[in-house]
């Protein structure tokens, strides 16, 4: 009953905060609207991009209702999230915070989390790597950089309605199921608080995109996902230490492919945005066809998000199924990466066929 109230209060608080942001946008829109002009923009109307504020509020309300065994851990996680949230919110409001500054902030969040909780990556079941991770400074820095990388990976997939939040809900649900199976009630409550706060936002973000996550929301969610992925196998030694990598393999693969593509195209400027993410290509190919087929072209953005959610659904299903075996986890990662690459090439081909002669060439990953 206590855990049900955590989920419910987080959901209701997040939804009400999101609703207030949407209904009062004429008062704060000058600061909070996401400009619809830009290479990665797929929406046509200015929209509030401070959904992270609503999610944080929901998480805090849900956290207040956590049982004692979860309460302090959840608040240490929230404390660690502050640099990621603040840097993201500053970008949402000013549009002037550099990518490098935001990356450093998310790494600092990872460092704070690791120091406060003493959860750090010291085992991967990979020979050589595990030896290096026995050195405390190496382990804690590796953990901080990993958490920062995941936070930025979630921001990268935040491009169509419901994708980043839906991906996070699916992954957190997989974590929650494993916690329930193992009897880890403390972390189950934390997962439910995070899921509830995301669903409250999701209702207004999908399918019509009345509110966006923004950088604050994406970085904070990514941080929480990474923190849980690090801590879960440490708390439950029967789990493979790579369980989190499989769960997050879709955003990680998207990030790696994006870095490779941009570096190859731009030389050294891997931070240059483009419209060649998997969800962007699906938006211009399969989602366009699906929206036309059902006679609802205005739902093209939501259709792209829905179709792309198959990736985190696959990785989370494999994660739950293979959670205790590192070789199986590595096989699962290979399956997700292969599925991503095959899908990318197919939709890139369709998108290139649909692109006019004057459009940019689609680059394969």
State pLDDT tens for residues 177-188.
Answer: 999 999 999 999
The DSSP bridge partners found for residue 34 are: 47
- Residue range 285-328, pLDDT digits in tens: 889 889 888 888 889 999 999 999 999 999 999 999 999 999 99
In the structure, what pLDDT confidence band is assigned to residue 203 with cuts at 50, 70 and 90? very high
Q: With a cut of 70, say whether residue 270 has pLDDT above it.
A: no
pLDDT at res. 357: 42
Question: How far apart, in Å, are the Cα atoms of 61 and each of 15, 17, 96, 114, 314?
Answer: 12, 11, 31, 24, 31
Q: 305, 290 in Cβ contact below 8 A? A: no
In the structure, what pLDDT confidence band is assigned to residue 355 with cuts at 50, 70 and 90? low
pLDDT at res. 42: 52
In the structure, what pLDDT confidence band is assigned to residue 275 with cuts at 50, 70 and 90? confident
102-106, 168-172, 270-274, 330-334: range with lowest mean pLDDT? 270-274
pLDDT at res. 362: 45
268-275 average pLDDT score: 64
Q: Which of 145, 147, 140 is nearest to 120 (CA)?
A: 140
pLDDT at res. 39: 47
Q: With a cut of 70, say whether residue 358 has pLDDT above it.
A: no
Q: Compute the distance between CA of residue 228 and CA of residue 17 in angstroms, rounded to an integer.
A: 25
In the structure, what pLDDT confidence band is assigned to residue 57 with cuts at 50, 70 and 90? very high
Q: With a cut of 70, say whether residue 267 has pLDDT above it.
A: no
* Percentage with pLDDT > 90 across the chain: 76
Q: Compute the distance between CA of residue 206 and CA of residue 288 in angstroms, rounded to an integer.
A: 17
pLDDT at res. 224: 97
pLDDT at res. 279: 95
In the structure, what pLDDT confidence band is assigned to residue 354 with cuts at 50, 70 and 90? low
pLDDT at res. 271: 58
Task: Report the chain's C-alpha Rg in angstroms.
Answer: 20
The pLDDT mean for the chain works out to 90
Residue recorded with tokens 């000013």: 94
pLDDT at res. 128: 84
pLDDT at res. 19: 97
In the structure, what pLDDT confidence band is assigned to residue 263 with cuts at 50, 70 and 90? confident
15-19, 44-48, 123-127, 351-355: range with lowest mean pLDDT? 351-355
Q: With a cut of 70, say whether residue 43 has pLDDT above it.
A: no
pLDDT at res. 266: 55
- Residue range 126-162, pLDDT digits in tens: 888 889 999 999 999 999 999 999 999 999 999 899 9
pLDDT at res. 360: 45
Q: Compute the distance between CA of residue 54 and CA of residue 58 in angstroms, rounded to an integer.
A: 6
266-278 average pLDDT score: 69
* Percentage with pLDDT > 70 across the chain: 91
Runs of H (alpha helix) within the chain: 2-23, 25-32, 51-64, 68-80, 82-94, 99-117, 129-133, 136-156, 163-182, 185-205, 214-235, 243-247, 249-266, 278-284, 286-293, 300-308, 310-321, 326-354
235-257 average pLDDT score: 96
For 326, the token pair is 């590192």
How deeply is 238 buried, as exposed, middle or buried, from its count of CB atoms within 10 A (0-12, 13-18, 19+)?
Answer: exposed
pLDDT at res. 200: 97
Q: With a cut of 80, say whether residue 278 has pLDDT above it.
A: yes
For 77, the token pair is 């996680």
Q: With a cut of 80, say whether residue 229 has pLDDT above it.
A: yes
């Amino acid at each position: 009953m206590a855990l049900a109230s955590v989920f419910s209060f987080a959901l209701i608080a997040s939804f009400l905060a999101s609703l207030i942001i949407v209904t009062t946008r004429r008062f704060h829109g000058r600061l909070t609207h996401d400009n619809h002009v830009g290479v990665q923009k797929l929406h046509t109307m200015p929209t509030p991009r401070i959904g992270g504020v609503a999610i944080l509020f929901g998480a805090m309300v849900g956290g207040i209702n956590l049982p004692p065994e979860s309460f302090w851990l959840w608040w240490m996680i929230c404390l660690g999230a502050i640099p990621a949230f603040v840097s993201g919110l500053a970008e949402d409001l000013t549009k002037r915070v550099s990518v490098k500054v935001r990356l450093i902030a998310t790494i600092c969040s990872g460092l704070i989390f690791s120091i406060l909780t003493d959860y750090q990556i010291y085992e991967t079941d990979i020979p050589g790597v595990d030896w290096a991770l026995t050195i405390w400074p190496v382990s804690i820095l590796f953990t901080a950089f990993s958490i920062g990388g995941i936070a930025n990976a979630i921001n990268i997939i935040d491009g169509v309605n419901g994708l980043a939040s839906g991906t996070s809900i699916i992954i957190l649900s997989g974590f929650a199921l494993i916690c329930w199976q193992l009897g880890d009630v403390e972390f189950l409550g934390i997962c439910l608080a995070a899921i509830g706060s995301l669903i409250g936002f999701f209702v207004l973000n999908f399918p019509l995109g009345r509110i966006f996550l923004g950088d604050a929301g994406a970085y904070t969610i990514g941080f929480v996902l990474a923190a849980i992925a690090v801590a879960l196998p440490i708390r439950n030694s029967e789990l493979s230490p790579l369980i989190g990598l499989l769960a997050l393999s879709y955003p990680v693969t998207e990030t790696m492919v994006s870095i490779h593509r941009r570096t190859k195209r731009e030389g050294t400027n891997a931070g240059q945005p483009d419209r060649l993410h998997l969800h962007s290509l699906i938006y211009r190919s399969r989602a366009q066809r699906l929206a036309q087929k059902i006679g609802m072209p205005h739902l093209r953005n939501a259709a792209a998000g829905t179709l792309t959610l198959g990736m985190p659904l696959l990785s989370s299903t494999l994660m739950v199924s293979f959670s205790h075996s590192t070789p199986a986890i590595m096989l699962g990662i290979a399956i997700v990466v292969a599925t991503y690459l095959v899908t990318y090439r197919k939709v890139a081909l369709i998108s290139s066929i649909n692109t006019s002669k004057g459009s940019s060439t689609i680059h394969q990953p």
